[in-house]
Structure 1
Amino acid sequence: MKLTRTTYIIGLIALNIALDQISKFIVRAYVTPYETTELLGDKFILTNVENSGAFLSLGSDLNPTLKSIFLLLLPIVVLGYITYYIISNKTLDRFAIFGFACIIGGGIANVYDRILYGSVTDFFHIDLGGIFKTGVFNVADMSVMLGMGLLLYSNFITSKKAKQTAHK
Structure 2
Amino acid sequence: MKRSKYFTRFLILIIVLMTVGCDQVSKELTRQKVEPEAYIPVIKNHLILTNVENTGAMLGFGQDFPPILKRFLLQALPMLLLLIMLYRIISKPNLNLLLVSAFALVIGGGLGNLIDRIAYGSVTDFFQIRLGFFRTGIFNIADIAVTIGVLMFVFLIIRGKKLAI
- Output the TM-score relative to the length of structure 1: 0.90
Partner AA of 1:152 in structure 2 = V
- After superposition, residues 67-106 of structure 1 pair within 5 angstroms as 67-106=70-109
- 2:60 & 2:40 partners in 1: Cα distance? 22
CA shift digits 1:70-96 (9 cap, x unpaired)? 000000000000000111123421111
* Secondary structure of 1:17 counterpart: helix
How many angstroms does 1:160 deviate by? 5.9
Partner AA of 2:130 in structure 1 = D
Larger of the two Rg values belongs to structure: 1
Query: Would you say the 8 A contact 1:93–1:154 is kept in 2?
Result: no
The match for 2:138 is: 136
CA shift digits 1:32-91 (9 cap, x unpaired)? 111110011111100000000010010111000100000000000000000001111234
The match for 2:121 is: 118
- 1:161 & 1:49 partners in 2: Cα distance? 40
The match for 1:148 is: 150
CA shift digits 1:97-151 (9 cap, x unpaired)? 1110000000001000000000000000011121x21000000000000000111
Query: Would you say the 8 A contact 2:116–2:123 is kept in 1?
Result: yes
Query: Would you say the 8 A contact 1:45–1:126 is kept in 2?
Result: yes
Structure 2: 5+ residue runs without aligned partners? none
Q: Which of residues 14, 25, 28 is equivalent to 1:25?
A: 28
Tell me the number of residue pairs that the alignment of Structure 1 and Structure 2 aligns.
Answer: 159
- Output the TM-score relative to the length of structure 2: 0.91
Query: Would you say the 8 A contact 1:36–1:46 is kept in 2?
Result: yes
How many angstroms does 1:161 deviate by? 7.6
- 2:113 & 2:8 partners in 1: Cα distance? 25
- 2:62 & 2:105 partners in 1: Cα distance? 23
- 1:126 & 1:146 partners in 2: Cα distance? 16
- Say what the alpha-carbon RMSD is for the aligned residues: 1.6
Query: Would you say the 8 A contact 1:23–1:139 is kept in 2?
Result: yes
Query: Would you say the 8 A contact 1:95–1:153 is kept in 2?
Result: no
